[in-house]
Structure 1
Amino acid sequence: MTIDRLREVAASHRDRIADFCSRLIQTPSLPGQEMQAAELIMSEMKALRYDDVWQDEVGNVIGLIKGDRSGKSVMLNTHMDHVDIGDRSSWDYDPYSGEIRDGYVCGRGAVDIKGPTSSQVYAPFLAREAGLPIYGDVYVVGVVQEEVGGLGSIELGKSLRVDCAIVGEPSSNTLRRGNRGRIEIIAIFRGRSCHASMPDKGINPHYSMANFVAALRHLDRVEDPFLGSETFTPTLVYADQTSSNVVPSELRLHIDWRTVPQRSPDEIKEMLASLLEKSLVDGAWGEIKVKDITLTTYTGATRNVPAHFPPFLIDEEHPLVRIAQEALSESFSRKVEVKRWDFATDAGHLVAAGIPSIGFGPGDETLAHTNQERISIEEMVEASMAYAFLCHRLTNPAAWAS
């Protein structure tokens, strides 16, 4: 009867969940510009009678539903920012319209991540409406600047201590227990500038970089049995010159390294530093560094963060995975698969802060960052009901003891 009642309550609020998602999409919130979205989320939480709603120094929104008893605490985590729309004319609908069409809410951020945000914000309210006990405190958070480095969750991991977290990136309502991380490395090659008509007068850093890139292809890759292989991909190149008839004195090569737990950032830097040293032509020099990002949030707070999302992996036998899979399977009356994400998420930052985490959210992840972005309303409602049941189960100390 508990699940049946929860399904009824969730279905009765279908239009409210869809409308909230639509209003969020109509509120553009690029990184550093999340203020209006934050105000909208806080207003909705207050309308849903959260026990407390506030913002922290960097602009993260935190809503609290207090537990009935002294149980486990849970964080439901999504981010408020989204990527740019790109060429508006390439969309079949206005990307900021939040148009509801054929059972979908359409527009930028529908999947990543305003649909999951809508489902999470409504989840504790649905639990209360259904009379489902919540044994410990539930924090529903909307964090800033995930798309550009994860500043919000990094800061939250320092200030908000919870027993576990559910990251709401899209997963088509399946359970996720891991993803590779990402670290952005800059390889710097230095030489001596000269006129291109007299190349022997200089030291051209292009030859050192060419040696390095050729050798990079042949580095051994570490593979994780669940997450797959690490990858390292040269992407951007910058020169300290804009004139095509001048040999530059410096080149900067950006490397996108998708990481697995078996290889630490320090090991990556040491490996690349050794490779760089072997690649240098006579008279050249260089260095390896992790890219640093200076981010300013909409509150005016400024933080320096490394361009590094740690990998996220929780053991399949961990109680959090077991409880979540059982709860979701019961919610949906079907066995819920446990998979991985192929992209980096804030779960890595939360796990690095000591918070056991899993992933679960509505939406087709292959539509994220595309001009076809849309999310199924039925999937959002189903997810909101499931989040509510997860809050019930995960806050119950007895579930962890079994």
Structure 2
Amino acid sequence: MDWVRLLSRLLQAESLPGQEGEAAGLLLEALKGMGLEARLDEAGNVEALLGEREPEVVLAGHLDVVPPGDPARWPHPQGAVAEGAVWGRGAVDMKGPLVAMLLALEALKERPLRGRVRFLAVVQEEVGGLGSRYAAERLSPLAFLLGEPSSRRLMRGHRGRAEVWADFEGEEAHAALSGPENPLFDLAEYLLALRELPLPQGVKLTPTRVDTYPGARNQTPGVARLYLDLRYEPEADLDGLLAALRTLGRASVYVPEEERASGEVRMTLPALWPPYRLPGDHPLLLAALRALGQEEAGFWPFTTDAPYLGAKAPVLGYGPGDPGLAHTPKEHIPLAEVEAAGREYALLVEALWSAA
């Protein structure tokens, strides 16, 4: 397998959420070229299986990426191989890790198999996790190895995130004839009260945006909407926090929902990305740490598909690439990092089989 060319082509396949088909086709072609049976499930997830007997370990990642933005801001074109690395949106988040998983499958094919390994590349991670939610419904493995970038450090979870909307109702009127029912004043008072709200330990709440509807600049709005970014630990009382936010002023406070679809699958998903935390003394985590020669697992600074997969089996995070480069115009992954991760994914799979 010419994995460098494959990664370059994957980065040139834009694969925004809901548009993962081209990238999925490239992975299917590569997996079949390795002699594996590969398929798309009903949601458009790519799946392949190596080995037959249990225990099963799943190498999991996602196909979709955020938009690359202005090409002029990138030092190299999408998919370019330069400075010992492959450049482009998705290099670390997370097509580089997916290719490293294929290298692991190639290595494991040449060894005695003490279990089976499933490759799973899901759709729509960036917008609520439809692909992983659907796949997890039918899988019951020993563990998932989730390949989000971690600079090849083992990870055991992350904080949760929610998008909270606060709507302030007013009266639409021409600005020259407007009355007192301007919701922007209510919004301003709410922000001042929010600044004084005591937050529980482990909770961060950040106002990020305001929109008005209908949106004309010479009209008082019928609705002013405040967007709040909420980050929270597993112990947080989310319902209690939302209740507190509703007491701060005349606002309708809620977590919005969105209809998502892929292939034959339809879901209504809240703007809520739950936290995940694998216990630090979990036997599989300890076995993985020993295999890598690492002392302690860390936590990702961002949310992942771990909560949806973790409802079925423990999730251990490990991926090549600097997570600080994700979603930036400097995103790239060193070739040596991909190769090293391929070896270590194989090592981790075998360590988990042995620990079962």
TM-score, normalising length from structure 1?
0.84
Q: Could you tell me which amino acid in structure 2 is paired with residue 316 of structure 1?
A: G
Question: Who is 1:250 aligned against?
Answer: 223
2:50/2:109 contact within 8 Å kept: no
**Match for 2:288 among 319, 324, 346?**
324
**Match for 1:268 among 237, 241, 244?**
241
Query: Percent same amino acid at aligned positions?
Result: 38
Question: Who is 1:288 aligned against?
Answer: 253
Question: Who is 2:60 aligned against?
Answer: 77
SS of 1:395 mapped into structure 2: helix
The answer on 1:357 being equivalent to 2:315 is yes
1:183/1:257 contact within 8 Å kept: yes
2:139/2:312 contact within 8 Å kept: no
For 1:152 and 1:268, how far apart are their aligned partners in 2? 29
CA-CA distance at 1:274 after TM superposition: 2.5
**Would the alpha carbon gap of residues 215 and 72 (structure 1) be closer, same or farther in structure 2, given more than 3 Å must change?**
farther
Alignment of 1:29-178 (within 5 A): 29-50=15-36, 52-67=37-52, 69=53, 71-95=54-78, 98-129=79-110, 131=111, 133-178=112-157
In the alignment, structure 1 segments of 5+ residues that lack a partner are: 1-12, 224-228, 281-285, 330-334
Q: Could you tell me which amino acid in structure 2 is paired with residue 290 of structure 1?
A: V
**Would the alpha carbon gap of residues 136 and 222 (structure 1) be closer, same or farther in structure 2, given more than 3 Å must change?**
farther
**Match for 2:199 among 218, 221, 225?**
221
For 2:253 and 2:234, how far apart are their aligned partners in 1? 21
**Match for 1:348 among 300, 307, 311?**
307
For 1:122 and 1:180, how far apart are their aligned partners in 2? 30
For 1:137 and 1:289, how far apart are their aligned partners in 2? 43
For 2:163 and 2:86, how far apart are their aligned partners in 1? 34
**Would the alpha carbon gap of residues 350 and 57 (structure 1) be closer, same or farther in structure 2, given more than 3 Å must change?**
same
Tell me the matched-pair count.
356
SS of 2:235 mapped into structure 1: coil
Alignment of 1:3-14 (within 5 A): none
For 1:173 and 1:166, how far apart are their aligned partners in 2? 12
1:292/1:305 contact within 8 Å kept: yes
**Would the alpha carbon gap of residues 316 and 244 (structure 1) be closer, same or farther in structure 2, given more than 3 Å must change?**
same
Q: Could you tell me which amino acid in structure 2 is paired with residue 266 of structure 1?
A: D
RMSD: 1.8
Give per-residue Cα distances to partners, 1:257-279, cap 9 Å, x unaligned: 1121111432332222233xxx2
The answer on 1:302 being equivalent to 2:266 is yes
SS of 2:126 mapped into structure 1: coil
SS of 1:378 mapped into structure 2: helix
Q: Could you tell me which amino acid in structure 2 is paired with residue 174 of structure 1?
A: R
1:180/1:230 contact within 8 Å kept: no
2:261/2:267 contact within 8 Å kept: yes
For 1:262 and 1:83, how far apart are their aligned partners in 2? 30
**Match for 1:236 among 176, 201, 209?**
209
For 1:28 and 1:194, how far apart are their aligned partners in 2? 43
For 2:84 and 2:322, how far apart are their aligned partners in 1? 14
Deviates more, 1:300-309 or 1:173-182: 300-309
Question: Who is 1:393 aligned against?
Answer: 351
For 2:74 and 2:66, how far apart are their aligned partners in 1? 15
Give per-residue Cα distances to partners, 1:133-176, cap 9 Å, x unaligned: 33233111110011122111111122222221111011111111
In the alignment, structure 2 segments of 5+ residues that lack a partner are: none
For 2:204 and 2:141, how far apart are their aligned partners in 1? 32
2:165/2:254 contact within 8 Å kept: yes
CA-CA distance at 1:48 after TM superposition: 1.5
Q: Could you tell me which amino acid in structure 2 is paired with residue 58 of structure 1?
A: A
2:141/2:312 contact within 8 Å kept: no
Q: Could you tell me which amino acid in structure 2 is paired with residue 60 of structure 1?
A: N
SS of 2:27 mapped into structure 1: helix
TM-score, normalising length from structure 2?
0.94
Deviates more, 1:302-311 or 1:107-116: 302-311
Q: Could you tell me which amino acid in structure 2 is paired with residue 42 of structure 1?
A: L
CA-CA distance at 1:301 after TM superposition: 3.9
Give per-residue Cα distances to partners, 1:315-335, cap 9 Å, x unaligned: 110112101111122xxxxx3
1:99/1:105 contact within 8 Å kept: yes
Q: Could you tell me which amino acid in structure 1 is paired with residue 62 of structure 2?
A: H
For 1:215 and 1:156, how far apart are their aligned partners in 2? 43
Give per-residue Cα distances to partners, 1:279-329, cap 9 Å, x unaligned: 23xxxxx322212122232x3643221111111111110112101111122
